[in-house]
Amino acid sequence: MNNKTNYQYLLSDLSTLKGVGIKTKNLLKKRNINNLFDLLWKLPKSYTDRSLSSKIKDLKIGGIQTVTIVPQKYNFPRVRKLPNRVLCNDETGEIDCVFFNSYEGYIKKILPLGKEITVSGKIGHFRNKYQITNPKYISEDSTLIKQVHNKYSLTDGVSEKIYNKILKQILSNLPDFIEWHSENIISKFQGISWNKSIKELHKPENIGNYKSNFYQRLAFDEIFSTFLVNSQIRKKIKRVKKKNKIININKQNSLIKNLDFSLTNDQIKSLNEINKDLSSSNKMFRLLQGDVGSGKTIVSLLAALNTINSGFQVALMAPTEILAKQHYNLGKKIFSTNINLELISGKTQYKEKKEILKRLEDKKIDIIFGTHAIFQEKVIFKKLGLIIIDEQHKFGVNQRKKLSDKGGIDCDVLLMTATPIPRTLTMTIFGDMDISIIREKPKNRKPIKTYSKLEAKIDDVLKFINKQIKLDNQIFWVCPLIEESKKLDHSSAIMKYEYLKKKFPNQVSLLHGKTDLEEKNIILNDFLNNKFKILVSTTIIEVGIDFPNANVIIIENANKFGLSQLHQLRGRVGRGDKDSTCILMFKSNLSDNAKKRIKILKDSNDGFLISEEDMKLRGFGDILGFKQSGIKNFKLADPIHNSDLFLLAEKEIRRIEKSNEDIRKFKPLIKLYDRADIINDIN
């Protein structure tokens, strides 16, 4: 078989396996098992040793044991609820095989009288006699049973016996691939092949052997395949030849001089990297990653200015209307009057929206701000040169690729996120993009003082809040749940709102995920305009809106949040020129991990350091809910425990890119790891 046939076998439908009918196939699909390859990653959790055979007299009650017996007599009672029994024996004693809900014909077929049969199951005892109830392992061929049988986290309706049978079929037909890695890489894993690694992975004695050469080899393949796909996407985008922008540095520097603050070194470095991309004939596909409050927006608006001055239009998309409006207002404040700005929102009247779209098509608008609606088909640009997307870390690789294509040949793409991500995750999640990082905070940005407080001492917190209100300051009060839950001992936003409303009449409002979109925008605008002092909210307030007058945030049940999320929430305050405070409230029964998290947050305002510590404590899948956001979940590889493999994969990809190596030999790897929909032109 050639490599093509090999990988196609593993990607074939489950129904090609013996013993897999429509019912079993549908049950497996519920567990996201769609082909033979998917089954290989459902690893054994433990095993049952059925290899040793016992005589009846030596059986131990309560244990799973294997015994070779001869059926002697059937007992099929006519009373429906009573079980069917088959009296069996060997030379040392007697045992009953007991069956509930099994037909006589089936029992006679599997346990024919007078024939030697091997049975394995849990040994019971009833009326002074051994018995096995509903044994699943019964055969005339003892070699099929006298084995070590793997145990899996099973799909309802699929027995352990069927699962093992299916996997043995795949493993016995597992193809031998021509090695795709270089000798240097293979030597790191003692020369073990992909085929041998898979077989070793499913051996019961190897369960949990994460340090083994076969486990490391397969984890590397996962990481490397992801990096290889990202590399090919970068290559594809770089191949697109666009009209380069002519950067007018004098106009840029003139605007920078008029700002009421100085740019940090990281902001200047990032702006230079973006300008280099804009002025290149290769298409820009860049992520601007910065900590909370590090000043990404001003960098993106300067890039927009340079694009506009080069004769192109710009579109800036934000996740919420209020954030889009905030960016629009900043643009109006810093840009000169000869730059035409416009904002499209849900509140824009039909007639006005129609007029805006017409002006956009006629290139009478230089930069448009809005939510995802600005990329609808009916929105036509005359000469779009730059797309800026704010806070869209939930865009997957496919979505980003489509976005880049939508803009057209001459359109550059800049994504921004205030989510500091550990390096290993950044390589995985955003490996298809070039990356600029802003770590440094503006010099006028004061560090947020962080305190922890027992829930029982809420009166102290209320006194502090009362003092802040008298100073005309505003407060965020964050709760994990919307409504009270009987199962979870968290504070409810609604209950806290009712409680605080009595303490501070006419000063409190409530915001949560079930709040109507229009009402939500009204509440946020009222808070921005200082019409009330306390906003009780769930975590929906964590995405980058500036409330300069809000300088206190209280987070209840702080131990229930991850470090990165707490840092994001804390970043909602400290945006003005006043001292800011974050109070983490918790109950007395904190776990050691929770104590560690709170200490890290109190000791640091560095989002990148915090995200690294968060990943060590919580695991990579939990950081800011990335499991729910479509970001690749590895089956074996772990960015914490396999950081060396991530760095090795990155180094190997750079070598392949530099040497312009033919990647066709990696085709089976790419196809198997299900990324062929992105790079489907490998011959």
| Angle separating helix axes 563-570 and 592-603, nearest 10 degrees | 40
> Which strands, in side-by-side order, build the sheet including 508-511?
449-454, 581-586, 550-555, 474-478, 534-537, 508-511
Distance, C-alpha 247 to centroid of its chain: 38
Closest CA to 163 of 45, 24, 22: 24
| Whole-angstrom distance, CA of residue 244 vs CA of residue 278 | 6
d(C-alpha 312, C-alpha 407), whole Å: 12
- The predicted-structure confidence for 567-626, as pLDDT tens digits, reads as follows 888 888 877 677 889 999 887 777 777 778 788 888 888 878 887 777 776 654 444 333
CATH of domain 263-438: 3.40.50.300
| Pick from 377, 384, 370: nearest CA to 313 | 384
- Tokens standing for 528? 């921005």
What residue segments make up the domains of the chain, in order of their start? Answer: 51-146, 263-438, 449-604
| Second CATH level (architecture) for the domain 449-604 | 3-Layer(aba) Sandwich (3.40)
pTM, two decimals, is 0.69
- pLDDT < 70 regions, the chain: 1-5, 154-156, 392-407, 431-432, 481-491, 541-545, 576, 617-633, 674-683
Residues 6+ apart with CB under 8 A from 132: 67, 95, 96, 97, 98, 119, 121, 122, 123, 124
Look up tokens 């196809």; give the residue: 671
Check residue 626 and give its pLDDT. Answer: 39
- C-alpha to C-alpha distance for 19 and 501, rounded to whole angstroms: 64
pLDDT value for 268: 95
Neighbours of 452 (CB within 10 A): 17
- Helix runs in 173-295, H state only: 183-187, 194-201, 213-239, 249-258, 265-278
C-alpha R_g of the chain: 32
**Residue 454 in 3-state DSSP?**
strand
pLDDT at 273: 96
Strand ranges (DSSP E) for 366-445? 367-370, 384-390, 412-417, 434-438
Taken as a whole, the chain contains a residue count of 683
The CATH superfamily assigned to 51-146 is: Nucleic acid-binding proteins (2.40.50.140)
* End-to-end Cα separation, the chain, in angstroms: 17
How many of the other CB atoms lie within 10 Å of CB of 193?
Answer: 17
Indicate if 263-438 has the same CATH topology as 51-146.
no
